[in-house]
Amino acid sequence: RCGHCKKLAPEYEKLGNSFKKAKSVLIAKVDCDEHKTVCSKYEVSGYPTIQWFPKGSLKPKKFEGPRTAESLAEFVNTEGGTNVKIAAAPSHVVVLTPETFNEVVLDETKDVLVEFYAPWCGHCKSLAPIYEKVAAAFKSEDEVVIANLDADKYRDLAEKYDVSGFPTLKFFPKGNKAGEDYGGGRDLDDFVAFINEKSGTSRDAKGQLTSEVSEFRSKRSCYKKLVAVDMVVLGG
């Protein structure tokens, strides 16, 4: 029920997976709705509350930092004397360079969305995890590419496409390799709706086929099986 808890969940799971092999550290959680007495004993009054219990002690130290896997890992490493790194999640965003730009972006068989970004840009950093999810949602679509270019590093190429601010997003569909500005919203659902409309795809934010398409494919599969059975019977 707790919104902040749901938001923390994937980060905390990453933390737990990363520390699985660390024998001196255990990453755990308590459902305070179910175990109210435990949470009351340790003065938990808001959710989520993250506490560190040193070895052999029941006097916890409260974690007050950003609720990211990386920040939590830094805290645990400092307190526990470990040196564990958070494993980077595999990326489905195609990283462009001047050498690969034309080959990828100007491919007439692909619809390509390009983010022109700068590493120091705050808005770019905020967009990054959303953009990763967009790429993951369309990873199974052979004709859709989600890409980015470090426009600060490759300024000549950015200027060629009239990039003057960061992040700038441009869409290069199969029929218009001059590119067109993306002016839509920057939430995951906004990007997914845009690409579905432009590319004729039918993915949801998690990369699953939308229910209408799934139902259609299921019916088509059943129809093919019926035809095949009829043919076998008729051929007999």
pLDDT-derived band at 212, boundaries 50, 70, 90? low
Rounded average pLDDT over 96-103: 98
Sign of the CA dihedral running 141, 208, 167, 148: negative
Q: Of the residues 2, 32, 39, 222, which is catalytic?
A: 2
Rounded to whole angstroms, the Cα distance separating 147 from 191 reads 13
Nearest one of 159, 163, 177 to 112, comparing CA atoms: 177
pLDDT cut 70: percent of the chain above it: 89
pLDDT-derived band at 104, boundaries 50, 70, 90? very high
- Per DSSP, what are the bridge partners of residue 113? 146, 171
pLDDT digits (tens, 9 = 90+) for 105-143: 999 999 999 999 999 999 999 999 899 999 999 999 999
Which tops the pLDDT comparison, 231 or 180?
Answer: 180
pLDDT digits (tens, 9 = 90+) for 163-187: 999 999 999 999 999 999 999 999 9
Rounded to whole angstroms, the Cα distance separating 202 from 134 reads 13
Beta strand pairing status for 180-181 and 168-172? antiparallel
Q: What is the DSSP string of 26-40?
A: ------TTT-HHHHH
Rounded to whole angstroms, the Cα distance separating 95 from 54 reads 42
Asked whether this chain's domains 3-80 and 94-205 adopt the same fold, the reply is yes
> In this model, does residue 232 exceed pLDDT 50?
no
pLDDT-derived band at 215, boundaries 50, 70, 90? low
- 8 A C-beta contact, residue 22 and residue 84: yes
Rounded average pLDDT over 24-41: 96
> In this model, does residue 47 exceed pLDDT 70?
yes
> In this model, does residue 231 exceed pLDDT 50?
no
In Å, how far are 18, 39, 77, 126, 231 from 15, measured between CA atoms?
A: 5, 22, 11, 21, 56
Rounded average pLDDT over 152-157: 98
In Å, how far are 33, 104, 122, 173 from 186, measured between CA atoms?
A: 35, 23, 14, 19
Q: Of the residues 5, 32, 39, 222, which is catalytic?
A: 5
In Å, how far are 53, 201, 210 from 215, measured between CA atoms?
A: 51, 15, 9
Looking at residue 87, its pLDDT comes to: 79
Q: Spell out the domain ranges in the chain.
A: 3-80, 94-205
Which tops the pLDDT comparison, 93 or 10?
Answer: 93
222 is catalytic: no
Fill in the DSSP letter of residue 201.
-
pLDDT-derived band at 89, boundaries 50, 70, 90? confident
Structure tokens that stand for 48 in this block = 């989520």
Residue found by looking up tokens 């830094």 in the block: 74
- 8 A C-beta contact, residue 114 and residue 147: yes
Instruction: Domain 94-205: give its CATH architecture.
Output: 3-Layer(aba) Sandwich (3.40)
Structure tokens that stand for 133 in this block = 């999810």
Looking at residue 235, its pLDDT comes to: 33
32 is catalytic: no
pLDDT cut 90: percent of the chain above it: 83
Mean model confidence pLDDT for the chain: 90
Homologous superfamily of domain range 3-80? Glutaredoxin (3.40.30.10)
Rounded average pLDDT over 52-70: 94
39 is catalytic: no
Alpha-carbon dihedral 223, 228, 229, 235, rounded to 10 degrees: 150
